[in-house]
Amino acid sequence: MKKLSFDIYSFNQANFFPHSRVKTKLQVIFILLEAMRYIMSYSDTLGEGIKCTGKLSVIVDKMSRIVFSIENKYYSIVLPFYVYSDGDQIQFYYKHEAIDSKLLSNLITILKGDSFNSKNSLDFSDSVIDLENENEMLWMILQDLILYEDGYIRYDVDEESYKKAKEEGCEHTHPLNHCDLFYSSNASLKLGLDRSLEVDEFIDVLNTRTNCKYLRNWR
């Protein structure tokens, strides 16, 4: 298993840990693109003199994932691109073609633009065509991002919500230690854990080459 780790700092933590929880696929795509852009521009002196608040880790094995971690909270999404590392140089590829920072910026621009939420499909197509002239891969990558299975899973230690649920006599609806699968209100569900998880344990759960974990003591 290949693991590449990068520090997260207070000045960029909100890019990866929004103040409110992730609720949409679009948010996941933004986080993915911002993570790739951050990794490609990362240097060991980036946060010199600033306290590290978390980690961003690229995990490559049979699966490829990005894991984001701060104290008492970790989550992971699928990395749908090939990653190559050579010393300090990190490069992402889409079908053997290198992805540069300009392409990432153009993708973010399209998805954050008003045309993406327009009721008129032509508004969106015009914004894509305008930027597609700069890189012919843009539309293919955008299609794949919209359609890809992001595999979102989050581990959380939520003392406040657990305490509230316990006071109401329903602590098992919001366990102290739990994993959240999916993110939209119609699909999201919790799996309670009887103890806390370290980051490496969380990564091991995601690794398809290691032994599976078993659910026990169904209530």
pLDDT tens readout for residues 113-134:
888 888 889 888 988 998 988 8
| pLDDT for the residue 218 | 64
- Mean per-residue pLDDT of the chain: 93
pLDDT tens readout for residues 48-99:
889 999 999 999 998 899 999 999 999 999 999 999 998 778 999 999 999 9
C-alpha span between 204 and 92 (Å, rounded): 24
Confidence check: pLDDT of 47 > 90: no
pLDDT tens readout for residues 189-212:
999 999 999 999 999 999 999 999
| pLDDT for the residue 219 | 58
- What would the two tokens of residue 168 be? 């109401």
| pLDDT for the residue 72 | 93
Average pLDDT over residues 13-31: 95
pLDDT grade for 45, boundaries at 50, 70 and 90: confident
pLDDT tens readout for residues 138-179:
999 999 999 999 999 999 999 999 999 999 999 999 999 999
